[in-house]
Chain A
Amino acid sequence: MKVTLPYQMVLLVRGEGSKIPLVVLPHEIDILHMVHGEDSIIAINDTPPIKECTFDTADEYARLEQYYCGNINVKNPTKSVFHTLADFEAAFDTIGGADKAALIEEAKALGIPATKNWGVEKLQTAINEAKVIV
């Protein structure tokens, strides 16, 4: 399944002396938590939006497994967060993906000024409200 998401910047805390800016996709943050600890990621809200990335979920899952591979004797952090590819794809129902794209199309057809930044819930509420008015 094809998904388009914006890259975002976060800070990775490495010891007291190092906060590394990382450009990552939103779902990578859970894996970074798994690799580096719960307190290791600081969100940065004041950076301008970085470019978007369109990826195939199977390719992206393979990329994450490969990049955050950890050591051989520990469970792959990607698999700890998203056990299977199906789990990984399910995660996009809430943060983006094909279903959301369809909802945006539907909303726009109803005259709602929906953008990619809208969540699925917000889109569905807006569509339901618009349908009631129609």
Chain B
Amino acid sequence: MALNAVEIAKIGKVAITAYGKNKPVDQINVERPLLDALLPKAKDIVGGVDGFTINIHKSNDANGQLWSGNSKVTYNSRNPNDFSKWDWMNHHDGFVLNEDELKRAGICVTDDIGKSTANRGEAIALTNMIVSQFTALEEGVKDHIHSLLWLNGSQNANAQPGIDSIVSMSPAVGTVGNIAASNAYWQNFASTGLASTQAALLGALETTKRNIQRTKGRFTHIFCGGSFYDALRNAVLASNTTQITYGSGSKLSIDMATDTLKFDGIQMIYVPDFDTNFGLAAPAIPWTKRCYILNLANGIELHRDSLDFMKMRYPGRPIDQYTYHFGMTSKFGLGCSKRNSNAVLSIA
């Protein structure tokens, strides 16, 4: 039987609650697969007036002719190259702590230079407040950067276009990376409103693969939202039945989970943020219904400042406040060297 209030008050004079001192267990952070995939191959931003550029080969301007006898041949002037032009953005996140709250959390800040030593205050700290704040800062920054890599950049005047613009649902409209999207070579593939049947989904995936291969492209990653993933999984399940024969007395062990969905040897990676529209409201085609087939090897490129990407910053202390500011800054932007090596699909 539970103790009554008087009994609890009495015990409260002689004992404290057995508070845990474990590292705080994360309840909210999700995987950020695009950021994880792009970071190892990220290119450096070196400065320059106008962001960065990526050279492309757009046309052979071929002028082949057949001739015989004295017939004449002609020569042409060629313009095979162009460059796509991209820009990067500045990102900041930061927090402030004051001496008062630090002291109460068991952390004593002094202006003494030299070794820091443990003090008695540590006994009352359940978890290291500064470490927790730094963890929260880093996780928050990763979340925001991951969303900026996907969103189209319309949400903020300082945001640069992400995958939603580069691998567009309307691939022939607009200007992307300073090259008109009306150029057939500068269009990604898009197939929207797909029925949730195996024939429609696998048909679209196969067609997309062939379209990408046509110009010597390849794809390296497939990212999709929960609805697309389920639609494909259910469509495949519905048309595939496995029959198992077993004798009496024998046992069956059946694991009914879907291990991985793959297409052309590439795992379809579920992006948790798609199901929440990155914490924003759903666009015309909700993210959860989308599937992005991307070339992250030589298609989509992350350019970031190697000296300033998720870099801790320690601004000075104001002269009239005993506060400590901590910031994390990043300079980064997406570029694309081959739009027609990427595709987006969506179910209806």
A18 near B176 with CB under 8 A, answer yes
B 144-199 contacts with A by CB, 8 A: 152-157, 160-161, 165, 168-170, 173-178, 181
Look across to chain A and name the residue whose beta carbon is closest to the beta carbon of B53: A17
B284 near A50 with CB under 8 A, answer yes
State how many angstroms separate the Cβ of A131 from the closest Cβ of chain B. Answer: 38
Q: Of the 9-residue stretches A8-16, A87-95, A98-106, A112-120, which lies at the interface with chain B? A: A8-16
B176 near A67 with CB under 8 A, answer no
Q: Which residues of A contact B284 (CB under 8 A)?
A: 7, 23, 50-51, 53
CB of B85 closer than 8 Å to a CB of A? yes
CB of B257 closer than 8 Å to a CB of A? no
Partner of B173, one of A11, A15, A17: A11
Q: Assuming the A-B contacts A50-B284, A66-B281, are A19 and B175 also in contact, with contact meaning beta carbons closer than 8 angstroms in the complex?
A: yes
Docked Cα-Cα span, A24 to B152, in Å, equals 12
Look across to chain B and name the residue whose beta carbon is closest to the beta carbon of A23: B284
Q: Assuming the A-B contacts A16-B178, A19-B175, A51-B284, are A9 and B170 also in contact, with contact meaning beta carbons closer than 8 angstroms in the complex?
A: yes
Looking at B85, B154, B168, B284, the one whose CB has the most chain A CB atoms below 10 A away is B154
Chain B, interface residues (CB within 8 Å), range = 20 to 34
B177 near A21 with CB under 8 A, answer no
Docked Cα-Cα span, A28 to B279, in Å, equals 19
CB of A58 closer than 8 Å to a CB of B? no
B155 near A69 with CB under 8 A, answer yes
CB of A35 closer than 8 Å to a CB of B? yes
CB of A45 closer than 8 Å to a CB of B? no
Docked Cα-Cα span, A22 to B164, in Å, equals 10
Q: Which residues of B contact A59 (CB under 8 A)?
A: 281
CB of A68 closer than 8 Å to a CB of B? yes
B155 near A68 with CB under 8 A, answer yes
CB of A108 closer than 8 Å to a CB of B? no
Look across to chain B and name the residue whose beta carbon is closest to the beta carbon of A28: B154
B177 near A18 with CB under 8 A, answer yes
Q: Assuming the A-B contacts A47-B173, A53-B284, A67-B281, are A20 and B178 also in contact, with contact meaning beta carbons closer than 8 angstroms in the complex?
A: no
Docked Cα-Cα span, A4 to B202, in Å, equals 34
Q: Assuming the A-B contacts A22-B152, A23-B283, A69-B155, are A14 and B173 also in contact, with contact meaning beta carbons closer than 8 angstroms in the complex?
A: no
A 37-74 contacts with B by CB, 8 A: 37, 44, 47, 50-51, 53, 59, 62-63, 66-71
Docked Cα-Cα span, A32 to B181, in Å, equals 22
A17 near B175 with CB under 8 A, answer yes
Q: Which residues of A contact B155 (CB under 8 A)?
A: 35, 67-69
List the interface of chain B (C-beta within 8 A of A): 85-87, 152-157, 160-161, 165, 168-170, 173-178, 181, 279-281, 283-285
List the interface of chain A (C-beta within 8 A of B): 7, 9, 11-12, 14-24, 32, 35-37, 44, 47, 50-51, 53, 59, 62-63, 66-71
Query: Assuming A14-B153, A37-B157, what are 16 further A-B pairs, CB within 8 angstroms?
Result: A15-B87, A18-B174, A18-B175, A18-B176, A18-B177, A20-B152, A20-B161, A20-B174, A22-B154, A23-B169, A23-B284, A35-B154, A36-B157, A47-B170, A50-B284, A70-B156
